[in-house]
Structure 1
Amino acid sequence: MIAIFSDTHSNRGHELEGEALAAARDADVVIHAGDFTSTVALEAFQNECERLFAVHGNADSAAVRDRLPTARVVEEDGVRFAVTHRRDGGTTGLAMFGRSRDADVVVSGHSHRPTVVETGECLLLNPGSHADPRGNRPGFAVIEFEGDDSGTLEGQLLEPNGRRIDGFEIQRE
């Protein structure tokens, strides 16, 4: 399983609870699209996750920015994820970012709004913010990799308590 987070915005820790905390602990890979805000939050995530792949966001401290890239590519079980916090140009800009990295999925943050958009070229996934939703539903995403030989992977946007926001599919190459 892959668990995907963004926009923690904390000086206290990871701010994970309920199903979000369980997903971070149980995931084979955790992707975070930036705005931990503090090294305390970043290190708390690192302590909970077996493998964390993260980027920094616009609200991250200099110490966090020094430790994380602005963008990265993560490949897991036949799926290529391009990860960034924010890209100018909206949906088009994110799709171009994904295309330039031959991505199946673009993971981004910044808006604090859990959303999934299928562009035809790649899936655009913003998990929202599990800790600081700013008027949106709190959110994170999970993608299940086991038991599917069809090449289709099932993903969900969830609230930290496990309530489903939306579902999506990813075609494995």
Structure 2
Amino acid sequence: MSDTHLPKRAKALPPQLMAELPHADVVVHAGDWVDTATLDLLEERSRRLVGVYGNNDGPALRARLPEVARADLDGLRLGVVHETGAAQGRERRCAERYPDLDVLVFGHSHIPWDTTTGTGLRLLNPGSPTDRRRQPHHTYMTATVTEGQLTEVTLHRVDPG
């Protein structure tokens, strides 16, 4: 997930997303939490949390989270960052900046994104489960890693109820 912006854009994370947490081996948040309560909640409810701060996150979150996070997931080299710049040229910039990664999860735009660079780096943006901006739906992603390979990525629409 990314760009939760709590409690400014919503009062809480959607129940649909919260129901996914017990089933996830790793929860990823690509920044713009806005409040530390969401970080505390995900730390309590997640087996493992990989997160970064975003441009809307203040000193308390920046003290607890890195700008860029890296994790080894069964041999898959995962990176997380909030901002990657404009969509134009994103694949080239990310491939150059993160040559040591297999997958980079990013946020900031609130626009779901799933592409692969010429070097094989997979770029994923889950959108936002709480602030859709100009998108038709609130969204988040789930992914499966099998034997060091990303084998499945699903973009989920958050049920409006």
Q: TM-score range by the shorter chain?
A: 0.7 to 0.9
Matched, 1:116 2:114: yes
Q: Which amino acid aligns with 1:110?
A: H
- Cα 1:62–1:152 change in 2 (3 A) is closer
Asked if structure 1 preserves the Cα contact closer than 8 Å seen for 2:28 and 2:51, the reply is yes
In the TM superposition, residue 93 of structure 1 has moved relative to its aligned partner by 2.2
- Cα 1:17–1:79 change in 2 (3 A) is same
In the TM superposition, residue 34 of structure 1 has moved relative to its aligned partner by 0.5
Q: Which consecutive unaligned segments of at least 5 residues does structure 2 have?
A: none
Deviations 1:112-160 (A, max 9, x none): 01110111221110011011111212111111246xx7x5611111112
Identity over aligned pairs, percent: 35
Partner of 1:36: 33
Partner of 1:9: 5
What TM-score do you get using the length of structure 1 for normalisation? Answer: 0.79
Q: Which amino acid aligns with 1:96?
A: E
Q: Which consecutive unaligned segments of at least 5 residues does structure 1 have?
A: 162-173
Q: Tell me the distance in 2 between the aligned counterparts of 1:32 and 1:87.
A: 15
Asked if structure 2 preserves the Cα contact closer than 8 Å seen for 1:127 and 1:157, the reply is yes
Partner of 1:135: 134
SS at match of 2:123: strand
Q: Tell me the distance in 1 between the aligned counterparts of 2:62 and 2:12.
A: 17
Asked if structure 2 preserves the Cα contact closer than 8 Å seen for 1:71 and 1:82, the reply is yes
Q: Tell me the distance in 2 between the aligned counterparts of 1:119 and 1:55.
A: 22
RMSD of aligned Cα (Å) = 2.1
Partner of 1:93: 93
Partner of 2:44: 47
Asked if structure 2 preserves the Cα contact closer than 8 Å seen for 1:31 and 1:53, the reply is yes
Partner of 1:170: none
* Matched residue count: 152
In the TM superposition, residue 97 of structure 1 has moved relative to its aligned partner by 2.5
